């Protein structure tokens, strides 16, 4: 094979590989979940399955709003403070639990409470700074329009509305079945706008960006 031709072939091959890598990364960024959304390791292995999981599946069946108290009242969902955890965990120490990790993990929490230290939870769902998202208005809308709720079958009340805690799965997925919380929806602008268009919500830029 002449030298020039083999050089050309090698060049083309390298070019193809580089192009492939670029296409992969751009495609991944475009269609995939944001970087770091695949369920980070938390300082305490908090099991949503135990707290929010249904009673039939061995959980406590707590509503999301039981701990994320501000979610239907204001912009931020709020992660409960250590004090709030201690409402129960001052009594629930994990001793005698069937789970092998419960005692160790709950002890981490109780130690933090004793020392008055907060717990540095790793944030899972993060919108960019230039987006202003308000939880309660979205929840209120979904409570009145249960047919928009996805990822779960909400328990519809007599008057056709649902409880606030039934709406969360639309964006957050079935958190109650996640041992480690991860992001299930892309939550990129296209995602927001699709839903806003479908539900006749404002699509003015200044509705969210200011």
Partner 1 sequence: MVSTPRERKWQMVVDVDRCTGCQACVVACQAENNIPFNSESHFKQGRTFSWIRIERYWEGEFPDVKARFLPFLCQHCDNAPCEPVCPVFATYHNNEGLNVQVYNRCVGTRFCQNNCPYHARFFNYWEPVWPVQMRNSLNPDVTVRGRGIMEKCTFCVQRIRRAELDAKRQEREVRDGDFQPACAQACPTSALVFGDVKDPQSRIHEGLANKRRFRLREELGTEPNVVYLSKVDSEAKEAAGHA
Contacts (CB under 8 A) with partner 1, residues 78-117: none
Q: Is 126 in the site for partner 1 (CB under 8 A)?
A: no
Nearer to partner 1, 143 or 184 (CB): 143
Question: What binding mask, one character per residue, do residues 132-171 give for partner 1 by CB under 8 A, x or -?
Answer: x-x-xx--xx---x--------------------------
Question: Does residue 204 bind partner 1 (CB under 8 A)?
Answer: yes
- DSSP symbols for 1-64: --HHHHHHHHHHHHHHHHHHHHHHHHHHHHHSPPTT-S-PPPSS---HHHHTS-TTTTS----H
Among 3, 128, 147, 159, binds partner 1 (CB under 8 A): 128
Q: Is 129 in the site for partner 1 (CB under 8 A)?
A: yes
Which residue number, 108 or 188, has a Cβ lying nearer to partner 1?
188
Considering the complex, state which of residue 25 and residue 141 has its C-beta at the smaller distance from partner 1. Answer: 141
- CB neighbour list of residue 72: distance below 8 Å, 6 or more residues apart: 65, 135, 136, 139, 140, 164
Distance CA 1, CA 14 (A): 19
- Pick from 141, 191, 190: which is nearest to 167 by CA? 141
Nearest alpha carbon to residue 94 among 79, 105, 81 = 105
Which of 69, 182 has the CB closer to partner 1?
69
- Residue 166, classified by CB atoms within 10 Å of its CB into exposed (0-12), middle (13-18) or buried (19+), is buried
Q: Does the footprint of partner 1 cover residue 197 (CB under 8 A)? A: no
Cβ proximity to partner 1, 73 vs 157, nearer residue: 73
Residues binding partner 1 (CB under 8 A): 128-130, 132, 134, 136-137, 140-141, 145, 199-202, 204-207, 209-210
């Amino acid at each position: 094979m002449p030298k020039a031709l083999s050089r050309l072939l090698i060049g083309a091959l390298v070019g193809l590989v580089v192009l492939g890598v670029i296409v992969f990364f751009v495609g991944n960024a475009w269609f995939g979940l944001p970087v770091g959304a695949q369920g980070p390791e938390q300082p305490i292995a908090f099991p949503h399955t135990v707290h929010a999981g249904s009673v039939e599946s061995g959980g406590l069946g707590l509503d999301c709003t039981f701990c994320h108290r501000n979610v239907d009242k204001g912009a931020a969902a709020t992660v409960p403070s250590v004090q709030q955890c201690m409402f129960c965990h001052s009594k629930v120490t994990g001793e005698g639990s069937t789970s092998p990790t419960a005692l160790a993990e709950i002890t981490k929490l109780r130690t933090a409470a004793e020392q008055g230290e907060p717990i540095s939870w790793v944030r899972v769902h993060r919108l960019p700074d230039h987006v202003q998202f308000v939880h309660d208005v979205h929840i209120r809308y979904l409570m009145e329009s249960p047919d928009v709720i996805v990822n779960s079958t909400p328990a519809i009340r007599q008057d056709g509305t649902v409880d606030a805690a039934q709406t969360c799965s639309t964006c957050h997925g079935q958190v109650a079945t996640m041992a480690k919380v991860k992001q299930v929806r892309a939550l990129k602008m296209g995602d927001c706008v699709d839903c806003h268009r479908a539900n006749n919500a404002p699509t003015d830029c200044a509705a969210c960006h200011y």
